[in-house]
Amino acid sequence: MCPSKWRRQSIYISSLTMATASALLSSPSLVSICDKSFIKPSCLTPPKLRLHKLSFVDQFLSNKYIPVAFFYPKPQREESNNNSQLSHIADLLQRSLSQTLVSYYPYAGKLRDNATVECNDIGAEFLSVQIKYPMSEILNHPHATDAESIVFPKDLPWKNNYEGGNLLVVQLSKFDCGGIAISACLSHKIGDGSSVINFLNDWANVTRDHTFVVPSPRFVGDSIFPSQNGPLIAPQSMSNVSECVQKRLIFPAAKVDALRAKIAVESGVENPTRAEVVSALLYKCATKSKAAASSSGNIQPSRLVHYLNVRTMMKPRLPRSTIGNLLSVFSTAATQDIELPRMVRNLRKEVEVAYKKDQVEQNELVLEVVESMKKGKLPFEENDENSTYFCSNLCKFPLYSVDFGWGKPERVCLANGPSKNYFFLKDYKTGRGVEARVMLQKQHMSAFECDEGLLQFASSSGV
């Protein structure tokens, strides 16, 4: 291997308003940066790999970051293994990151333009910070998604980065109680959620066992979705979190099973999935909340767009280790109050249709972008009469298997974003429950989080 650089405050926070709590947690006195460094791959990237050409789907996306964080209780000190001691964690993570970047070399490069990454080994940014606050207060905060933001690099999550910033930024947060959080913001230009999980698990495996050999990931670049008429000069998808708030909801396994069983009987859909029933419920409640905030009080036409990982739908199938934005979409529309059985039936039908398509020639995401550009519109553009809701399903992604050597994380979270009307679904930390992160406009969220149909199956605490 080639060498490389490698008061507890007693606050009754539950009585605070969201704005006050946010101001408290963003206070400079709570967070102090201990170190900032740049971690280069431990071996230089070969000249033949120096230019990474981005696919049409990559180019469609802005250079926003996918931000994910892992919270771990205080690592147990083991006299026989100094690496488990808190004082060695930053060094340990930096060394393993340097090794991992050899295989994930585009994340250590720079964006040359909207169609090319220059893999110049400039490295990933690594921040080490001290948080003068117990981790339990963050995890138990009544406005959890607001409180969790403290473990991400300031102002970075979901940011549209055009200034040549690093394509990977990591923050190690050390709490006064001894707990730690590891957050990573990875450029969406390089890969999708599946790509991010691959990287994080491989990095964790190297951290836990320095002899672990990172499987060689396949960076598909523009080999599957090339730009047919030249590269896109500018991205078509932008993140925008202004005037939006995020809500964390827990659907316990028993409640999800009850909802699935109920909808199975009423819809005739055999074994509806967790994602089908939960996304349909969130969509129904979100459209109702928008109607409640409108002057007419009427449900407006809308559609629910699900992002789809097409690796297993390709012929031949692509391996899990494939890195890139291997995505498509399927959608279903509603013009009135949503009936859950019908919605789930429509979702199932659209998924079945998607599996019968050629996901290169008939990719719905690519077709949406192409047709929108011909019309001089933005993809998925909406107006006052029509709304679009998006869902990314991360259920069954091994987020809670990311073990750097201190066991499974206490919580895995995504930063607020990327835009309004967005649902993220992922496994709850135990059992077959679902955790949903819901991003809505502020005036719609107040009605949404009080919806009795929603509260019958979900809570903010998981109880």
Catalytic residues, which ones? 188, 403
How many C-beta neighbours within 10 Å does residue 159 have?
22
How many C-beta neighbours within 10 Å does residue 383 have?
6
Report whether 131 contacts 173 (CB < 8 A). yes
Q: Tell me whether the omega of the peptide bond preceding residue 319 falls within 30 degrees of 0, making it cis.
A: no
Residue type, 135: M
Residue 307, phi then psi, degrees to nearest 5: -80, 145
Report whether 154 contacts 288 (CB < 8 A). no
Residue 59 contacts by C-beta under 8 Å, 6 or more apart in sequence?
114, 115, 227, 231, 232, 235
For residue 242, give the 3-state DSSP assignment.
coil
Bridge partners of 218? 322
Residue 334, phi then psi, degrees to nearest 5: -140, 140
110-113 and 116-118 beta bridge pairing:
antiparallel
E strand or H helix at 219:
strand 218-219
State the DSSP code for 141.
Answer: -
Report whether 203 contacts 215 (CB < 8 A). no
Task: Tell me which residue has tokens 């469609």.
Answer: 60
